[in-house]
Structure 1
Amino acid sequence: MRMLQFMRMVRGRSFLLFLFMTCLAATAFAQVKVAGRVTDDGGSPLPGITVTIRNTKLGTQTDADGHYTLNVNLQPGNYTLAYSGIGFISRESVLAVSTSVSTYTQDMRLATSVSKLDEIVVTGTSEGTTRRQLGNYISTVKADELNKGATGNVLAALQGKTAGAQISQNSGDPAGGISVKLRGISTISGSTEPLYIIDGVIIDNSTTRVTNADPSYGSGANGDNFVGSVGQSRMSDINPADIERIEVLNGAAAAAIYGSRANAGVVQIFTKRGSAGAPVVNFSTSFSMNQLRKKLDVNQAPTKFGGSPDDSTQNILTPKVTSITPVKRYDYQDDIFRTGVGTDNNISVAGGKDKTKYYASASYLYNQGIIRNTDFSRYSFRLNLDQELNKWISFTASLNYVYSSSNEKPDGNTFFSPMNSVTIIGNYYDINQRNAFGQLMKVGERGRVNPISVIQDFKQQQHVGRVIAGAGIKLRPIKNLTVDYRLGIDNYNQDGTTFMPAYAYSVSQGFYGGGPTLDPAQNGYASAGNNTSFMINHDLNATYNWDINDKFTSVTQVGYSLQYQRMHYTLEEGRGLPPFVQTADKATTIIPGADQRTQLSISGEFIQQNFKYRNQLFLTGALRVDGSSVFGANERNQLYTKLSGSYVISGTDFWEKSSVAKWWNLLKLRAAYGESGNLTGIPAYGRYNTYNATAFIGASAFQSPGTYTDPHVKPEKQKELEIGTDMAFLDNRIGLSVNYYHKRVEDLLISRAIAPTNGYSFYLNNIGTLQNTGVEVVLNLTPVKTANFNWDLTAIYNQNHNKAVNIGQSLILYNTVGGAPVGIANGEPIGFFYGTFFARDANGNILKNPAGIPVTEAGIQTGPLTYTTQRDPATGLPPAKGATTLNKKIGDPNPKYTATLTNDFRYKKLGLHIQIDAVQGVDVFNADWRTRQGVDNGKIAEQEDRGLLPRGFIAGNYNIQEWRIDNGSFVKLREVAFSYNVGKLKGLSDLTISLGGRNLISWDNYKGYDPEINAAGQSSVLRGIDFGAVPIPRTYNLALRAKF
């Protein structure tokens, strides 16, 4: 009984003790509100600045007006508030919490950071790291930099804004594809495009033709000259207004953690997120005009050689024809070009509370092309959610739906594109003339197409529906450990239709209805193409942070990833269309189409270890193993390594105490080595030697492919060494980063020619090496900085030299668009132009025959790139008989260097942005220019028509391939934007009006429209080819941005 009373007494006192301790804990942790405003040097609010309390998991971000609020439980004592943001120097302040005060105000002013050392960047793991710790260079481009250019394409907006990147627009179509090459070429047999990631979701940026899809679109009758294609790349689906920042990882050391798909670098896109505070609505609208930047001069001679233009459009190439016929000349450019208009409208709302944040947006883009009857429209909807469930679980989700449609015309490598249709006919036809039945008239001999037919009657449409979705959960189960899982899905359906009506005039076989005489039963063409792509990626990562002592810190990261991709491509086409029929299934003759189905999967594991000493010395090492279904079991798993280090000398006590620290603010040395692989070298089933079904003597048969693939092929492996330094001077008003890299791609996948007696013509296996070396220099400068006026200058210089090593054969030649002779040879740059050339004397002067016509060099070809010239003693010219026409390297589409100079001026509420891009030391194969002379509508042809050049001059030059090499160097006024910040108005918290332009001026000596375009699209090897691509337009833009 007493024992029971004693137990009850103990329990009662324990309960009182528990209540006492609970009350004590309640008094120890008090509810505290910390609020403030973060501004820049000029007092302008800074949204998106991260505010955290050191050594806790507590933090938030500033809203659109720079305000932040933290409602937290804190014990009395001193705490450190940390403020950090992209492009600003991080700062800290002391917060003294007492029991008598519950509300604290802590304002902060952040200075612009030239070095950006404290900027958080993401390098493929669950936890980001500061730029200070990186041993390799990573570029960061913020939203306000992307939105200064008048473009709705995110990759076009990225041009000239990141070191080591060559970004070029392949075509001036409304949704023309963009090519991105980071630190040169990474492969010769697959794509050299980088890996694209949006908020952790791996996305597809390939170009798949669902219009212009038949190989007969090639310049040859059977499409045998068709390699490479322009068209839409799928990054055209992404709305730049949704982007917060872009990180570009150039090197293999930065990309090694991403594994096999990152051999060409990584472009990471981070979209806007919500922040705590009242909802903030942003609205922007713009009106744009697109114009042909440069109009070409055409032949104005009053006569042509030969008789009626109806007989032949190329009589100028027949020197024996000396008779002339009076003609009226026309300029067809006005019939195919126009001034296009466009609009880009965006609205978004962002906000949330401490634990729930959201961002939602909707946009509509419409852009008319400079080619008549072409346009592109895009609808985009995005929702981003961030939810903190409790102190150790948080959740993120994103959803982006895009629908786009376009009206197109044939482009690139086809005689009946609008560009080529005016290039392959003489300019002495009235192309608007019609016969008694209202039908357009023919324009020359068989094979020539009336440009008005293409503009008015051809119908090509493309529609794309796309969903990009991601979700992630982050766990903090114990102190210092973070575990997160992310799921990403990219799914789109691409549908395209083509319709070419029947025509009364005779056309070529490639035009579907040709022949010596018109076959009505085969006239007219229709096709329907569809491409469905599904990609999913799973990433599971864990990070453990360990403060070994007050000087040493360790960060250990492990992870696993799984990727899966499925594609299904179909093409249905037919020719011979009955009246009023526009679909392929009703055609008289069904053309064999396509039904291609592809699946591949990739899995990988990695471990990364980072050590930090006193926030000055950093060392990182990583290992990754990737497995891919593309390659056989014996070569499926590949190991990639990474090692990097950096030393911030200016952070040492010795430096800070020295006198040099007063003006030299930063000195950082860094080095990195990394490896990555390539899964795009062969298709998903490329290691299998597939056979095609065919018919033989009325029975079913199989036909072997032309190339035999070694079943034991393995991924190409890239190894890169990068050395660099980052420096800042004069209170960080001068920043300088210099990078040197040496990149070596081993085990190249190359098709070698073999004897046909083997049953195949080519043999594909791993052989050879590709090498890139380069230098990157980035200079950030603030020459003037006052309360009312600010001038920021950025200069970027990139130099890359590549060459092939030990490719297993002396020369590889490619059949290409426009007949461009493209080659690869040991010791030479990738994709150089190879062909016949002019004979020259010892002083380099072109030799001419007695009639004054240049002659082709001839002699003995001792090797693909070596030769011995021969001369006829009597004439001093190459001998007419007994000598071989010689070939050599005649041009190089790889630029010697690229550069960008950007100036941003701000005076009170006025702003001026100017960006100038330069590409120097580059050649272009100008097939269109040569064709214009051959059909008698070019200015050189005019000189022969007028007798200013000898008869036969054009014919003598026409087959000399060097004649088509043009100077592709240019300096371009890429972007200009003048803005005025109105500020607050009734009902608006901010209003800005801007007037700008893009591609306004190009200083070049190019004989075509624009040296920047490429008819081969995203091809790794084929570059610098001008054949039928739409010129890049000049764009003017008037925009209004409002905040509510």
Structure 2
Amino acid sequence: MKKRLLIHVMLCVLCFPLLLSAQDNAVSLKVQETNGQPIAGVTISIDKKRTMVTDAQGAVTIPNANSSIIVFSATGFKSKTIKADTLTQSTIILEQDVANLDEVIVTGLSTNVKRRNLANAVATISSRELSSTAPAQTLDGALEGKIPGAYINANSGAPGGGITVKLRGVTSVYGNTQPLYVVDGVFIDNSATSAGLNAVTSAASGGAATSTQDNPSNRIADINPQDIQNIEILKGASAAAIYGSKAAAGVIIITTKKGRQGKTAINVSQDLGLITVRKLLGVREFTADRAASLSSDPATSEALKKQFTDAQAAGHIYDYEKEMYGNTGFARNTELSLTGGGEQTSFFFSASQKDEGGIVKNTGYRNTGLRLNIDHRISDNIKIGITTNYINSSADRGLFGNDNVGATIGVALSSTPSFAELHPDANGNYPANNFAASNPLQTIALMKNNESVNRFITGLNLEATLQNSGKSTTKFIARGGVDFYNLQTSALFPGTLQWQAVNKGTSIQGFTKNLSTNYIASLVNTFTPSDNVSLTTSAGFTQETGDYNNLLNVATQVIAGQSNVSQAGALNATQLRTKYLNSGVFIQEEASIIDAVTLTAGVRFDRSSNNGDAAKFYTYPKAGLSWNLTRSGIVDEGFFNNIKLRAAYGQANNVPAYGSKFTGMAISNIAGNPGVIVNIQQGDANIKPERQKELEAGIDFSVLNNRLSFELTYYNKSISDFLMLQSLPSSSGFSSKWLNAGDLRNHGVELGLNAIPVQSKSVTWNTSVNFWLNRSKVIRLIIPPIPQGSFGYVLGSFQVEQGKSATQIVGLDGDNGVGVLGDAEPTFQMNTYNEVTFFGRLSLRFLLHWKNGGDNINLTSLQSDFGGTSADYDKVTNKMGVPDAVYRIMQIGTTARIFVEDASYLRLREAGLYYTFNEFHNSFIKSINVGVSFNNYLTFTKYRSYDPEVSNFGTGFSTGVDVLPYPASKRAAFHISFSF
């Protein structure tokens, strides 16, 4: 008996793990492509309650599978649904979906739909396309050339970003022209805050400390692209209407990476790179006679001739352009991420640090970020998600662009010949530059212009199922968050600088606090009366607030070695505070019939504290129709695998500029008595929001077993009651007045092609090609046309004029008087993104971007002409037989046509070659990825300045003005990453 009992006990012990396995019923799977290569990052939904993600080798183990319904989905692949108890093999094969028909797209503040049933043209950018080819310095830079329907333009090459993004044309003149950025449900502030450099450059008239010509960076540059999972771009009102008053210029929805169930995965990556100038303009080759020609005074000419011959004999002929812009910046980017979780809680954590030097000494960019995203399922009916992000960034941007005192580096360089001596002596003392107001080498070495940011972004998502039956489900969904940052700008110009002889040292200290909040609370009911009909009703309310507080202190006669504004002989302070409160109510109905016809209708009621009547709700409707002809049986699947017709209409609004409804008060001091007087800019108490109406229609279809897909979209977008300033007669007591001045229209075409030209076990080639164009026209204008931005008719200017393009450039045109000289809007744009993979391990990726047409006002060459240093100064190609630079100067006052220049280009924006090692048996290392990349390395253009992407006036209406900016750069980098 004892022996038999012992045998039973031993059998139980031996069988216990098997019993546990049977109870656990775990399923181990490997997800692969059709060519046998593993797919990492596949999202696996188990009974719509649990989610898991495959590892770097495409493997996943699902505990407690039982008879669960398992859905496999990944971007670029067709979704697959299986039942766990019917599995006959451990390998799951996903087919590529070139048309991304199973991709889920946002259609409302709390609803979404698959792309195959989408009524709008919504562009998407995956994490792979965003940052896995040739990572850009900042997020805004990473978007360049990737969004069909967008005109994206770098304001300058200065470290720290600064990008203009316009979706489907001009949406405002004086209002907001940039899209709304939403990160995990949080509305992100994207302000560009002046550092007050106009106090020393006098670039803008009146000498005001703040100026759009300071060229600051946008705050969206703070976000780390490596943290992003995907981006959706809602380009027009028909898609973005539900987002309300901040969505008139479009919405860019950013979703960051989330946790996943399973063993914690660790990824460590290191990028090392070199940053160099993309293009130099060259310098004039001087001779003794050419040196003498720099002055019309005989005595001075003789002195210049001797100065040149002495410098030539001593070997002191310099290429100052190359010396100042030829610095090689070293780039380092380190990333650490952890992803994991259990059945109830999952997390994603990342820590990153980016440190990049500039092509000009003492300039560069540094960004340190921490992110923690947590998702927790409280019960089967309640789940909550929290996203947190801390960012500390610092950008040293130098002193560039337009100025009227000769202080900026580019302006000083433009009039400094190669035989001038600018280098310091043995004691470090810089000589005075006799050819300019400043010594640019001294300015680079001694000045400081820094933007530093501390930023916290926190978002909260709550989803609770209130009711669930066989045919109806009701959920409460709440989303929102807080975006808070402290921005400090610090510009220091010591009194030893040549051009500080009057101010005797200037310190400009700016302090900005910005708090933005937003939330949405909604109820969403999904009613499915039958297998062929599904109705989704959503309703809720939203609120957004903003509190921006900027204090700028300009101190002069600063004590040597000091930067505190209190250590100065004179101090001037300005403060700008803006607040707003926007709120809205919305309701939306979506109907899906036989998963082929989708009908959407909604309306939003919006009000804003910036409106003339802050209590009034304005109504903005939207509607959409999507009809999938193949899924509805109208067209049999044969040549067409999928064909869809779609149309959508929507309205959105852009709130008036802050303060436009008020007539402000200005400080006055009479006989030592402080007080206030009425400002010379008059407000309008009845100011209305700018209203945008858009109708878009299109067709999408795919053929050749979904290996080739096309997308065609036409849109017509009108903006009514756009905001402008009207000049008033002096007898009114005011110089200008805010008013709703007119209407304009944009219309355009967007074409897209996605294809898999080659697909085999050894080679796979994925490609996409996009084409887009936009045309604008001012339909109505109730005020006389006046120049907007730039420098007036003499050198070329933008001008809003009835019956003309909203982006036309006008100026003096010889005997024709003032005429149209060009247009900033490109004739068309195209891009192509390609990825060729060999044996699933070696990957070649590249992005080409072609901008055809679109003019800039190029004044950089003119400045060098004035200074006698243009590289082509002495060439003679003009009909008058004089040096070309002299000929160009002679045109001033007669025609501005010579300064309006075609800014077309073909650019290899990104290229990368990567190899993945993933055969590490019995090792804690899952994969190693190594590669090299090139960013903006090749540009083909006839444009005669540093870069055709430029905007001296920043991100507003007047883009494309070129006045000696910080030159553009290119970068080459080596990458290595480890997955554990």
TM-score (norm 2): 0.91
Aligned with residue 716 of structure 2, among 738, 742, 746: 742
Within-5 A mapping of 1:756-835: 756-816=730-790, 821-835=797-811
Q: CA deviation at 1:265?
A: 0.5
Distance (Å, rounded) in 2 between the aligned partners of 1:59 and 1:988 = 24
Q: Deviations over 1:195-218 (max 9, x none)?
A: 001111111111112352637541
Does the CA-based 8 Å contact 1:439-1:504 persist in structure 2? Answer: no
| Corresponding residue number in structure 2 for 1:25 | none
The 5 A counterparts of 1:49-128 are: 49-52=42-45, 57=49, 59-71=51-63, 80-96=69-85, 107-128=91-112
Identity among equivalent positions (%) equals 26
1:487 and 2:480 aligned: yes
Question: Does the residue aligned with 2:369 lie in a helix, a strand or coil?
Answer: strand
Counterpart of 1:4 in structure 2 is none
Partner of 1:633: 613
The answer for the alignment partner of 2:972 in structure 1 is 1036
Which residue in the other structure is 2:694 paired with? Answer: 720
Task: Determine if contact 2:200/2:407 at 8 Å carries over to the other structure.
Answer: no
1:968 has 2:908 as partner: no
Deviations 1:601-636 (A, max 9, x none): 111111000111100111000010111111133674
Separation in 2, partners of 1:554, 1:363: 44
CA distance in 2, matches of 1:965, 1:731: 49
Give the distance between the partners of 2:945 and 2:232, measured in 1 at CA: 35
| Offset, 1:497 | 1.3
- Stretches of structure 2 that go unaligned for 5 or more consecutive residues are 1-21
Structure 1 counterpart of 2:868, one-letter code: D
Distance 1:814 1:652, change over 3 A: closer
State which of 910, 921, 944 in structure 1 corresponds to 2:842: 910
**RMSD (Å), alpha carbons:** 2.8
* Residue among 354, 360, 372 paired with 1:383: 372
Deviation at 1:158, TM superposition (A): 2.0
Write the letter of the residue equivalent to 1:502. Answer: G
Q: 1:169 to 1:308 in 2, by over 3 A?
A: closer
Task: Flag the 1:950–1:896 CA change in 2: closer, same or farther, 3 A.
Answer: closer
Q: Determine helix, strand or coil for the equivalent of 2:724.
A: strand
Q: Distance in 1 between matches of 2:24 and 2:913?
A: 48
Alpha-carbon distance between aligned partners in 1 of 2:387 and 2:46, rounded to the nearest angstrom: 27
Cα deviation, residue 990, structure 1: 0.6
Contact 1:287 1:1038 in 2 (8 A): yes
User: Which of 203, 207, 228 matches 1:218?
Assistant: 203
Inter-CA distance 584–751: structure 2 relative to 1 (3 Å threshold): same
Residue of structure 2 aligned with 1:423, choices 409, 414, 422: 414
**Closer, same or farther: CA 47–559 of 1 in aligned 2, 3 Å:** farther
- CA pair 969-308 structure 1, distance change in 2 beyond 3 A: closer
Give the Cα separation in 1 of the matches to 2:552 and 2:623: 47
1:796-850 CA-partner distances (Å, limit 9, x unpaired) = 111011122212133121343796522211122224322123xxxxxxxxxxxxx
Q: In the alignment, is residue 990 of structure 1 matched against residue 923 of structure 2?
A: no
One-letter amino acid of the counterpart of residue 635, structure 2: W
> What's the secondary structure of 1:280's corresponding residue?
strand
Counterpart CA distance in 2 for 1:69 and 1:1001 is: 45
Change (3 A) 1:699 1:211: closer
For 1:682, which of 632, 657, 682 is the aligned residue? 657
Relative to structure 1, the CA distance from residue 401 to residue 438 in structure 2 (aligned partners, 3 Å threshold; closer, same or farther) is closer
Distance 1:404 1:63, change over 3 A: same
**Cα distance, 1:144 vs structure 2:** 1.1
Task: Determine if the alignment matches structure 1 residue 585 to structure 2 residue 566.
Answer: yes
CA-CA distance at 1:902 after TM superposition: 2.0
Q: Which residue of 2 aligns with 1:866?
A: none
Instruction: Report what 1:1007 is aligned to.
Output: 944
Q: What secondary structure does 2:239 align onto?
A: helix
- Matched residue, 2:321: 333
Q: Which residue identity lines up with residue 830 of structure 2 in the other structure?
A: A
Paired residue for 1:919? 851
Q: Cα 1:59–1:377, aligned 2, differ >3 Å: closer, same or farther?
A: closer
1:271-670 equivalence runs, <5 A: 271-303=256-288, 325=305, 327=308, 330-337=318-325, 338-414=327-403, 415-432=406-423, 434=425, 439-444=429-434, 448-479=437-468, 480-503=473-496, 505=498, 507=499, 513-514=501-502, 522-590=503-571, 592-633=572-613, 636-656=616-636, 661-670=637-646
Match for 2:383: what amino acid? S
Letter in 2 for 1:462: E
Please state how far the C-alpha of 1:991 moved relative to its aligned partner.
0.8
Secondary structure class of the residue paired with 1:444: coil
SS in 2 for 1:259: helix
Q: Conserved in 1, the CA contact under 8 Å of 2:198 and 2:211?
A: no
What displacement does 1:280 show?
0.4
Alignment correspondent of 1:935? 867
Residue pair 1:750, 1:807 contacting (<8 A) in 2 also: no
Number of residue pairs matched by the alignment: 934
Superposition pairs for residues 148-187 of structure 1, below 5 Å? 148-187=133-172
Q: Which amino acid aligns with 1:248?
A: I
| Cα deviations by residue, 1:16-66 (Å, 9 ceiling, x for unpaired) | xxxxxxxxxxxxx99764553322223333344333456x64554444443
Shift of 1:675: 0.5
Deviating more after overlay: 603-612 vs 958-967: 958-967
User: Residue 998 of structure 1 contacts residue 1036 of structure 1 at CA under 8 Å; is this kept in 2?
Assistant: yes
State the distance in 2 between where 1:59 and 1:341 align.
41
Is the alpha carbon distance of 1:304 and 1:810 closer, same or farther for their aligned partners in structure 2, counting shifts above 3 Å? Answer: farther
For 2:57 and 2:588, the matched residues in 1 are separated by 39
2:32 corresponds, among 33, 39, 45, to 39
Q: Please report how far the alpha carbon of residue 707 of structure 1 lies from its aligned counterpart in structure 2 after TM superposition.
A: 2.2
Partner of 2:12: none
In terms of mean alpha carbon deviation, does 725-734 or 414-423 score higher? 414-423
Seen in structure 2, the aligned counterparts of structure 1 residues 948 and 605 have a Cα distance that, compared at 3 Å, is: same
Question: What SS does the corresponding residue of 2:441 show, helix, strand or coil?
Answer: helix
Give, in whole Å, the separation in 2 of the partners of 1:382 and 1:226: 34
Distance 1:945 1:132 in 2: 58
The whole-number CA distance in structure 1 between the counterparts of 2:807 and 2:646 is: 33
Shift in CA distance, 551/939, structure 1 to aligned 2, threshold 3 Å: same
Deviates more, 1:143-152 or 1:910-919: 143-152
Deviation at 1:752, TM superposition (A): 1.6
Q: Which has the larger radius of gyration?
A: 1
Q: Structure 1: give runs of 5+ residues left out of the alignment.
A: 1-28, 98-102, 515-521, 838-856, 859-868, 870-885
Aligned to 1:862: none
Shift of 1:219: 6.1
Shift in Å at residue 979 of structure 1? 1.1
5 Å-filtered alignment, 1:241-280, equals 241-280=226-265
Q: 1:94 offset after TM fit, Å?
A: 4.0
1:72 positional shift: 5.3
Once the two structures are TM-superposed, the CA of residue 259 in structure 1 deviates from its matched residue by: 0.7
The 2-side partners of 1:58 and 1:498 are apart by 53
How far apart in 1 are the matches of 2:175 and 2:217? Answer: 18
8 Å CA contact retained: 1:513, 1:575: no
Asked whether the 8 Å contact 2:865–2:889 carries over to 1, the reply is no
Q: TM-score, normalised by structure 1?
A: 0.85
Residues 823 and 727 of structure 1: CA distance in aligned 2, closer, same or farther (over 3 Å): same
- What is the rounded CA distance, in whole Å, between the counterparts of 1:826 and 1:711 in structure 2? 25
Which of residues 880, 887, 890 is equivalent to 1:953? 887
Residues 442 and 497, structure 2, Cα contact 8 Å, conserved in 1: no
- Evaluate the alpha carbon distance shift between residue 1000 and residue 954 of structure 1 in structure 2; reply closer, same or farther with a 3 A threshold: same
Shift, 1:733, TM fit = 1.0
**Contact 1:1013–1:1024 (8 Å) recurs in 2:** yes
Structure 2 counterpart SS, 1:747: strand
